[in-house]
Structure 1
């Protein structure tokens, strides 16, 4: 296939400029392997739980890590938050979301994945073993400029994206259509568009904006490899909220969002808020659990296999690009 830009393809050595977004709690190695078999880049979320102990045979793969700062609990803020929750406060074990650290460096040195990506900035001491391609998320031009000297490519995350906002300086709150071309103009390294991209039209639009690849998440929630256990895949009404984890993230509106959110100033900082409704969330996940989803969920084609979906997205994008090229003088 011929693409408007080959910068990302040549950097990573893949056939398709499609990265399956790492989705903690929604995907694992099976989805990543399927996308990689199709010629794209599969991603495995490593910040929640144990991630993986070994890498699948299908390569290249992207291992994704969080870079949040761990904070001590604030008793005054906790008291205000518990008052806001009322009988919804159930308590539970602290969420197992850890920032990138020394153990992860050792893991990377042992397994040597082709790609590592970071969310919420980059580690204070970036010690990724040589030869591993580094990606990181930016939600503003300022963040992209900060990241450029330290990474090989930038993921430009628009406001439409599902899941946690990847900001680390200040949330840009900018849509993909406005964000991508500004970052493309501001940096010299490849740019990966993310947010609101669910079909070939979105992929073609990203290239028209100057992107070198796309990152797609919500669309893959409909596939067989998705590890979601609950029926929220068909929802369309999304909102940015901090009441599930303590950090702004886009998901479907549910009872907890309606009753104490969407943005509650008393929610403890990420990831502490997740522990305070843990038991309630386990009992009634659709009402009180996070249902992460991007704004373009309704555009997601119902493909059973992540591998087939990736092929379809690429073919669909090629068809759109050909139609657009036919209008060229």
Structure 2
């Protein structure tokens, strides 16, 4: 059977299908548990949450499923430029957003005591509650953290956008590598080179990573139906991660505006931009991303830019303004047609089996 792979066995799941972990509050306990209960690996993006919140999230997921699930963290939670980001820098970038704050009836934000979370504090809390799987993006955790995970029986997934990153992940002792192609929605999680120099397409990346490492390879980016699953596995993947298609499901933490946009014709037009968070990410083009393109890469670093746009996101949702909302989406979004996790998962299983049977007949 196509689903009996090393990745599935290592993760303890029936089908080697991983639900993409969504950051920025787009993940939900409901979706994570639903995918795990269906036989895949549900995932929850926790990088914006405090250690206390992370403990609660894991507890809530465990209340909903007895099957394996993953929690995702960002190893690198702050750009180097944050070291020099002071009040004057803050005011400069607030000024650039003044028209958008005004359009939503918002006062400009004040300089905060803290822009984001601390990875070391987050991972300490996460190892303590020991979810079945932890996935890491934007880097590789320290040997101490890897050993702590291993001693607690936690499986680890590292995210790579190049062959070199995949090799580094294997050398560090991570259990599986997720090869993320440039078609993927959300953030480009490169860590050895700038993301603009790491934009390898999924179906070029998979066989190269497969040839370069011995650990199981999970493919991500542009996979939204059974044809994509079967193709990725034919190229050497032991499993796939499906992100945008699950984000469009009613169980996700995405707003109704976001889900509607993913299921519309607008989903055919995505762009890579730093305008929403300060880090390069793929989203549907809209007024905000086009307006901010005038500044090029001269934007606040992460997490300052992300913090500056937080109030914009909340107000845009409240006022129905998806032209000012980050609508993260992969290049496969135009293929989406399922509005629930159950319908999507069933279709992925059915279509993948059919694709392999058709190839066998040919």
Q: Structure 2 length normalisation: TM-score?
A: 0.83
1:130-189 deviations in Å (ceiling 9; x for gaps): 211110110001111111122011010000101111111112101101111111111111
Structure 2 SS opposite 1:260: helix
The equivalent of 1:101 in structure 2 is: 120
Contact 1:16 1:39 in 2 (8 A): yes
Counterpart in 1 of 2:262?
233
Shift of residue 276, structure 1, vs aligned partner: 2.3
Equivalent position of 1:14 in the other structure:
13
Structure 2 residues without counterparts, runs of 5 or longer: 102-107
Partner of 2:71: 63
User: Equivalents in 1 of 2:168, 2:18: separation in Å?
Assistant: 23
The counterpart of 2:163, out of the listed 122, 141, 155, is: 141
Residue 32 of structure 1: CA displacement? 0.9
Q: Distance in 2 between matches of 1:17 and 1:229?
A: 28
Distance 1:321 1:165 in 2: 30
Distance 1:196 1:99, change over 3 A: farther
**Between Structure 1 and Structure 2, which shows a larger proportion of helix residues?**
2
CA distance in 1, matches of 2:27, 2:255: 11
**Could you tell me which residue of structure 2 aligns to residue 321 of structure 1?**
356
Contact 1:242/1:262 (CA < 8 Å) preserved in 2? Answer: no
Residue 85 of structure 1 and its aligned partner are, at CA, apart by 3.7
Q: CA RMSD in A?
A: 2.2
Does structure 1 residue 185 correspond to structure 2 residue 211? yes
- Equivalent residues of 1:4, 1:207 under 8 A apart: no
Native 8 Å contact 1:27 1:225 kept in 2:
no
Range 3-12 or range 243-252, more displaced: 3-12
Change in CA separation of 1:103 and 1:219 when aligned onto 2, cut-off 3 Å: closer
Q: Does 1:91 align with 2:109?
A: yes
1:97 is displaced (CA, Å) by 4.3
Give CA deviations for 1:265-322 in whole Å, capped at 9, x if unaligned. Answer: 2212211102223433332241222111111112122242x13321221111110111
| Count of equivalent residues | 324
Indicate conservation of the 8 Å contact 1:241/1:262, yes or no.
Answer: no
In structure 2, relative to structure 1, the CA distance for the partners of 1:92 and 1:80 (3 Å cut) is closer
1:198 aligns to what? 224
Check the 8 A contact 1:92/1:279 in 2, yes or no.
no
- Name the residue aligned to 1:280: 312
Using the alignment, how far apart are the partners of 1:274 and 1:69 within structure 2?
11
DSSP 3-state at the match of 2:211: helix
How big is each residue's C-alpha offset from its partner over 1:64-117, in whole Å with a ceiling of 9 and x where there is no partner?
1111143335247546544544533633576864353144324323x3211110
Partner in structure 1 of residue 296 of structure 2: 264
